[in-house]
Amino acid sequence: MQVTLMKGKIHRARVTDADLRYEGSISIDRDLIEAAGFLVNERVDVYDIDNGKRFSTYAIEAPAGSGTIGLTCAAARLAMVGDKGIIVAYAGFAVAEATAFRPCVVLVDDNNRVISAG
């Protein structure tokens, strides 16, 4: 049997950009991608804290240290610059593996800089 668990999340990240014309998804500061254990092009779910909208897209890399959380293409219609959100990646595990797994939770400040990760 397989179960799906949260693999990693970035909690309360602030949307910094929205671009309807760019092909893509959600651009995430490389430092945050690494801290959360995400892979470039990995499917992520985004939960907007301010408006309650939830959607799935894929992660693309923004420059390290930029603090960028940028929504592009269709995702840019679902949140506004300044909105806070949660970005989550999930993974499938065998039950035995799942009981020992611990997700990476990244807390960020208002500039999307890592406060804590673990």
DSSP codes, 4-22:
EEEEEEEEEEEP-EEETTS
For the question of residue 58 being annotated catalytic, the response is yes
Catalytic residue among 47, 58, 66, 90: 58
CB neighbour class for 8 (10 Å; exposed up to 12, middle 13-18, buried from 19): buried
For the question of residue 90 being annotated catalytic, the response is no
| Rounded distance between C-alpha atoms, residue 39 and residue 30, angstroms | 10
Catalytic residue among 25, 27, 47, 90: 25
Question: Known catalytic residues?
Answer: 25, 58
